[in-house]
Chains A and B, each alone.
Chain A
Amino acid sequence: MPVRITHEDFDAGREIATLRGSDARVGAVASFIGTVRDVNDAAPVSTMTLEHYPGMTEKALADIVAEARARFDIIDALVIHRVGELRPADQIVLVAVTSAHRGDAFDACRFVMDYLKTRAPFWKREQTPAGARWVDARTSDDEAAARWQK
């Protein structure tokens, strides 16, 4: 299962070991873990709640992984994204990619994250001393995703 949305925390080491298995074609594993910061836009964050759109989010992530497979020479890929209430330092997302060589593994991992940030239906709501607020999208994320369209 290359895509998983879960309330539970994940063990990145175990997930990557499972992804690699005993596949001796794999010569490179690239991974990314996103975590909760304790400050965002100059305000301290005590908790963050992640919401998704069941049905569409799974499909969007699967489409992004399929697009990565079409663009890069990779062997396998995994996306785990958490939802629900998280605290600073908690893990949010894991992307892991296996490939024969590092170039495609690095590129595919970054591509999946850049597209996930701009295309996968997730929304963050932060609890700050001034109250709860929905996190605004960043133009820097749009620019990162646009890089792959050149």
Chain B
Amino acid sequence: MPDFHSPVTAAVTVKLVYLARLRDAFGKSGESLTLDAAPTVGDVIAALRARGDPWARELAAGRPIRVAVNHELAAAGASLRDGDEVALLPPVTGG
């Protein structure tokens, strides 16, 4: 019988979006990623880096990748909720 008084530990699934150069490098425009409870943007990056190349290379520390959560730029410490859209953006070159 489940214990309804225990802390919420449900896994969180986010929708990843890879843009421009990163889409080419990863060979897809996005995917679903399921993480342990209460994940942050930094946890997403860590999980992707752990796959090895090309993820580790493209997302290595110091690479100028920015992350947007639900279309707003977000810091590594930003927390994620189930269903969030998490986009990885290379440096922009419009105009």
B57 at the interface (CB under 8 A from A): no
Q: Which residues of B contact A53 (CB under 8 A)?
A: 17, 19, 68, 71, 87, 89
B71 touching A124 by the CB < 8 A rule?
A: no
Chain A interface bracket (under 10, 10 to 19, 20 to 34, 35 or more): 20 to 34
Q: How far is the CA of A136 from the CA of B93 in the complex (A)?
A: 7
Contact with A along B68-82 (1 / 0, CB 8 A): 100110000000000
Q: Which residue of A lies closest to B89 (CB)?
A: A121
A13 at the interface (CB under 8 A from B): no
A122 touching B92 by the CB < 8 A rule?
A: yes
**With A55-B71, A56-B71 as contacts: A81 and B91 at CB distance below 8 Å:** no
A120 touching B71 by the CB < 8 A rule?
A: no
Select which of B64, B71, B93 is within 8 A of A123 by beta carbon: B93
Contact with B along A26-67 (1 / 0, CB 8 A): 000000001000000000000000111101100100000000
Chain B interface, number of residues (Cβ within 8 angstroms): 17
Q: How far is the CA of A136 from the CA of B71 in the complex (A)?
A: 22
Contact with B along A117-138 (1 / 0, CB 8 A): 1111111110000000011110
B20 at the interface (CB under 8 A from A): yes
Chain B interface mostly helix, strand, loop or mixed? loop
A137 touching B91 by the CB < 8 A rule?
A: yes
Q: In the assembled complex, how far is the CB of residue B86 from the closest CB belonging to chain A, in whole angstroms?
A: 12
Q: Which residue of A lies closest to B25 (CB)?
A: A134
Q: Which residue of A lies closest to B21 (CB)?
A: A134
Q: How far is the CA of A118 from the CA of B95 in the complex (A)?
A: 9
Select which of A34, A92, A93, A119 is within 8 A of B92 by beta carbon: A119
Q: Which residues of B contact A116 (CB under 8 A)?
A: 94-95
List A residues at the B interface (Cβ < 8 Å): 34, 50-53, 55-56, 59, 81, 92-93, 113, 116-125, 134-137
- 7 closest Cβ contacts across the A-B interface? A122-B94, A137-B91, A123-B20, A56-B71, A134-B21, A117-B95, A135-B93
